[in-house]
Chains A and B, each alone.
Chain A
Amino acid sequence: MTDLALLLSLIVLAMLVIAGALAARRARAWRIGRAARVDWAAGLMALPKRYLVDVHHVVGRDPYAARMHALAAGGLLAGSSLALIGLIPALGDARLFWWLTALAFAAAFAGGAMVGRRRYPTKPARLSGGRFQILPFLLAAYSGGGFLVALDASLGGALRPLGLLGLAFAAIGGIGLALQIDRGPMRHAFAGAAHLVAHPRPGRFMDERATALAPLDLDAPRLGVAMPEDFAVNRLIGFDACIQCGRCEIACPAFAAGQPLNPKRLIQDLAASLQPGGTNAAYAGSPYPNARPVAGVGGPGLPIVGEAAMIHPDTLWSCTTCRACVEECPMMIEHVDAILDLRRFQTLELGALPAKAAAPLMELRYADEPGGRPLTGRTDFAAGLTLPLMAQKGEAEILLWLGEGAYDLRYGRTLRALVTLLQKAGVDFAVLGAEERDCGDLARRLGDEAGFQRLARANIETLARYRFARILTADPHALHALRNEYSAFGGTYEVVHHTAFLDELAATGRLTLGALEAARVTYHDPCYLGRYNGEVDAPRRLLDRLGIARLEMERSGKRSMCCGGGGGAPVSDIEGERRIPDIRMGQAAATGAGIVAVACPQCSAMLEGVTGERPAVHDIAELVLMAVEKAGTAPARSAQVPA
């Protein structure tokens, strides 16, 4: 072992000590958080799989970033570990060992160079500057320096002058990197690992949907999150895991619309509030668009939301809860849960929700319907059709949940199409009629957990009176609530979306479809169906049965973009520069499609609200009905499953 190699090993040791101390200091800060039920042992066991499979699945969507990260992180870890165990004489004296070490550092250097190439000469807007801009230099210095020292050692000290130079670089770069561990870019490494171990939704790594909001204990001393310590400890860890890659930012519809929300900035603000006397002054990424002025100070014991705090309330209320940020985040951070926790405090404790959002919640409280409309009016859309009532039948194979869309004149047409199709297919179904209350989705997303729980319990009680095999609904929000969120209150149902159900009917030949020739259709995935419930195939399969040309938008499937209608955003109505549905309609028009197929009353309403020259908006049920009617006149095409 050369003396330089020994010194390199000692530098790594010093880095380890510094990083360890800084990480421990940061980890102590997490302890202010509320206790969380975490299965640490299982999490630790699962860490390699969560990291290598789940994280890389997300990272891999950007192949450049994936290669860059594999080289930089892999090389850095391998090189440093090797240099460290080089302290063991038997290894340290082997030239081959140092040759291996040099190889690892070379890989890290290549990764560092890729980091640099991504940021220089121009840094993409989604990436943060500041400390992040010096990262490639530190990486290059450390890995390049390590390479030279190891190379020198592998040659038995033949390149001593180069080795000396390398050692200097390695020392500067290495210590520099270690110093970044508690607040700089390197924090993601240890906080990210801890976050993967203690993740608040372990089901995400086990192919579960894991998208239901956790119920709030309404007897808790404080409802929701006011201060950093109100977050569970594993949530706090999650905020620190953010690497400021900005993937969430470019996915966020509110950000794109110029509303004052940037999920990346939000997570940074939350991470900064963990520090006593914390400010967000060091943040060097894109701001909240049209940011409302805030004091920008926070810390334990201080409120997070408010003009005198870190985050402006408008930021909170801009979110459509579309989960696009969560879907894109390579660090598996749960932005929507954090936003909901903050909203719950604002709504339940302070009653500080946007003025226009208060009215529907009030109507819900006394009329079980956010528009204050009569529950008997829910079936008005079906005038002229026979709509069997559960109250009369007592049981049916399918319980048709109508949802809020039933009150909407436009969406009523969709429901009429659906009911007509059910009748044509001879489905045994019934509706609750006036016994159906709002499912509580709006209340819950606006933070009114008390209202949601009341509605959920009331609906569960109603449903318990009837016998049915499945619940069918055309409303993905109701579907999500009934399928995933009611179970916490004792209501477990098999819920099927109308797209999947119609697909089933077509596949089994109960509906005969004609071909809608020459129609060019693009399908807009509803967030609550695609991202929340993973149903992206059935609607497409169904569309493909209609003999149309199906075109995909720039963003589709689980990575689709929100229409702007979720999370109570239409009633909160936070001002931006553009409207989210206009942006989405632009993407639809860009495919050259003449029809945007939708599968949700919210999407239907939002996209129909787009003015000017644009593709027509039709729910899939309407298209299927057209095809069925075509089949009645034209020679029928037998239903077949496309390969």
Chain B
Amino acid sequence: MRIALLLSAGRHRVSGRPAPVPVELQALRLAADLAQTHGGQSGGTVTGLHAGPEIGPLTDALGHGLGHLVHLRMPAEADPAPALTAALEAGGYDLILAGRSGQGGEDTGLLPYTLARALGRPILADAAALAPGAEAGTLSVEQALGRGARRRLVVRLPALVTVHPAAPAPLPFAFAGLRRGQVEMREAAPSAPAPHEVEERPYRPRPKLIAKAAAGASAAERLKAATVAASGGGKLLVDPAPEEAAREILAHLRALGLIAPR
């Protein structure tokens, strides 16, 4: 099985220094495990791909179990999608893995979808575990849903899968792996600058909305109100008509006070 792993230029969440994106290293672990245990007789290969001006500490992925890293060099403002699409197409990968979101600029969670569309491949989000499907040429994906729920899906390869932080921790870093690993630098064909300007600012966790209990309610009632709100509640609509779905969403937002009442 040939697996490609998309690596984006991340930053450490506290120090702000260039660093690999943790969820992408988790994706690497899924890829490495899959290649090792289920690679078939030919064995699996995992190739890392990064498009950008600098490879920087992404080479550390070689220490986390990656065998081969390809750096598609391009100016910082260039759109990485065309170069990545071309490289992915040429590589003939069965599976393309990415993190569910990057950490800045155009490395948002949108890129995998752009690539999937350009490649004409199915995309499945938020994998927490991967295994070969029962049928040859398929992949069984455990998808992470809210609140620890999991859903098993089977996708026909080739496909693109994004990985969720609920996946197992990255393989520990081995310095010798970094020393042994190969980085292949390719100049990417010039492409138009990325279409959108994105405003960047530090992440700040927002206060959570806590449902209010009636004034004068007992502590138990307040606790219940708080936890019920935290555990979602709401309504489950299965295959609703678009109109109905939109109505429900609007009603919900209105109830939360996020849009003005009619």
Contact = CB atoms under 8 A, between A and B. Distances in A.
Contacts of A365: 19, 57, 60, 173
B172 A361 contact: yes
Contact of A351 (B13, B17, B57, B172): B172
A637 to B, nearest CB: 47
Contact of A350 (B15, B60, B169, B174): B174
B169 A358 contact: yes
Contact of B15 (A347, A348, A359, A368): A368
Which of B15, B60, B171, B176 has the largest number of chain A CB atoms within 10 A?
B176
Interface in B168-206: 169-177
Contact of B175 (A348, A357, A375): A348
6 residue pairs, one from A and one from B, having the closest CB atoms: A351-B174, A358-B172, A366-B12, A367-B15, A366-B19, A351-B172
Interface in B142-181: 169-177
A362 B12 CA distance: 10
A357 B19 CA distance: 19
Contacts of A375: 15
Given A351-B64, A366-B57, A223 B15 contact: no
Interface string B11-22: 011110101000
Which of A223, A348, A351, A448 has the largest number of chain B CB atoms within 10 A?
A351
A372 B174 contact: no
A448 B175 contact: yes
B102 interface: no
A374 B175 contact: no
B60 A351 contact: no
Interface string A212-229: 000000100001000000
B112 interface: no
Contact of B12 (A355, A361, A367, A451): A367
A369 B13 CA distance: 13
Interface in A277-318: none
B175 A366 contact: no
B202 to A, nearest CB: 12
A316 to B, nearest CB: 14
Nearest to B22: A362
B12 A351 contact: no
A451 B17 CA distance: 16
Contacts of A347: 172, 174-175
Contacts of A368: 15
B52 interface: no
Interface string B232-247: 0000000000000000
A355 B64 contact: no
18 contacts: A218-B175, A347-B175, A348-B176, A349-B176, A351-B64, A351-B65, A351-B174, A352-B172, A355-B172, A358-B170, A358-B172, A361-B172, A361-B173, A365-B19, A366-B12, A372-B14, A374-B14, A450-B175
A367 B174 contact: no
Nearest to B20: A366
A351 B15 contact: no
Interface residues of B, number: 20
A355 B13 contact: no
Interface residues of A, number: 28
Contact of B173 (A223, A362, A449): A362
Interface string B42-77: 000000000000000100100111000000000000
A365 B61 CA distance: 13
Contacts, number: 62
A394 to B, nearest CB: 25
Contacts of A448: 175
B15 A374 contact: yes
A367 B13 CA distance: 9
B173 to A, nearest CB: 6
Contact of B174 (A218, A349, A366, A369): A349
A366 B17 contact: yes
Interface in B207-233: none
Which of A218, A353, A450 has the largest number of chain B CB atoms within 10 A?
A450
B20 to A, nearest CB: 8
A348 B174 contact: yes
B173 A367 contact: no
Interface in A352-389: 352-353, 355, 357-359, 361-362, 365-369, 372-375
Given A366-B17, A367-B17, A372 B12 contact: yes
Contacts of B177: 351
Given A348-B175, A365-B19, 13 more contacts: A218-B175, A349-B175, A349-B176, A350-B174, A351-B65, A352-B172, A358-B169, A362-B170, A362-B173, A365-B60, A366-B15, A369-B15, A448-B175
Contact of A223 (B17, B64, B175): B175
Contacts of B14: 367, 372-374
Given A365-B60, A368-B15, A372-B14, A351 B169 contact: no
Given A366-B19, A367-B17, A359 B175 contact: no
Interface in A327-362: 347-353, 355, 357-359, 361-362
Interface string A164-190: 000000000000000000000000000
B171 A351 contact: yes
A616 to B, nearest CB: 34
A341 to B, nearest CB: 15
Nearest to B15: A367
Interface string A428-464: 0000000000000000000011110000000000000
Which of A357, A362, A367 has the largest number of chain B CB atoms within 10 A?
A362
Contacts of A358: 169-170, 172-173
A356 to B, nearest CB: 9
A359 B63 contact: no
Contacts of A352: 172, 174
